[in-house]
Amino acid sequence: MNYDYTAEDRLEQPHKYMYARFGGKAFLTAYMADRRARCDALPGSAPGGDDAARVTGALQDPALSNLGIRIAPDAAGQDKPSADLRPLDSFSVDATIETSELLEALFDAQFAQRDEAARAFWLRRLTQRFEVSKKLYQRYPPGFRKGDGPNDDIRLYALFSLTLALAWHVQPQLQHLSTLLKLNDLLLSLPPERLTNAFPADGVRLSVATELNAITRLANEQGIRLGHD
């Protein structure tokens, strides 16, 4: 059995995920093999290695500096400290929102575990927007419904994926995992060089490792044992 959700460029050809049939353990095995193969193809991977054990240690790094993730690069190409980011609770659906600014603030707040109410609100709103079209737009006008501008900024999808992975790590919610799966389908459907030119490979690996660990745990709870073979 093949895992078809990454078979095409999902940035160009989004999958609707409508009435998908469950293929049992064979489907889950194909899914996990596809995830591992695509992570192995990312620059810096050790084919056949277990990236999960290595990259999940990054959660102990307050700045995620060992992932080289640029949370909010300034005009000179340098990372801004968290103190220079716009506060998450300063965003409002009544104003136009630049998606990159919102995601940077949301990621920072999620990692630092602050602004709980604002985190929950914006995770929910961004999830809703993505689930409707499987797209994230450059900006959202007042009302935060119909997006505006380009929708092909890979960094936005990757940063949202990693933010959801952190959210799952702290407080698992199935909706977060469902959206995380779709975001990672999109990201891993892209050529490896294109993906990692937009976002650090270890950031992608961390998100995928979180997803795989979650799926394995849920499968185990249903009596389905998923191994590495």
| Extended beta strands in 34-130, E state | 97-98
**Residue 36, SS3 per DSSP:** helix
73 secondary structure, DSSP code: B
CA distance 212 to 107: 21
Give the DSSP H or E segment for 139. strand 139-140
Q: How many CB atoms lie within 10 A of CB 175?
A: 13
Q: Distance between terminal CA atoms of the chain?
A: 14
Distance (Å, whole) CA 52 – CA 185: 17
CA-based nearest residue to 159, from 86, 61, 89, 69: 69
pTM, full prediction:
0.86
Beta bridge partners of 139: 98, 148
Helix axes 116-133, 154-170, angle to 10 degrees: 130
Tens digit of pLDDT at every position of the chain (229 positions)? 789 999 999 999 999 887 767 778 899 999 999 999 999 999 875 444 444 444 444 444 444 444 444 444 444 444 454 567 889 999 999 999 999 999 999 998 998 888 999 999 999 999 999 999 999 999 999 999 999 999 999 999 999 999 999 999 889 999 999 999 999 999 999 999 999 999 988 889 989 999 999 999 999 998 888 864 4
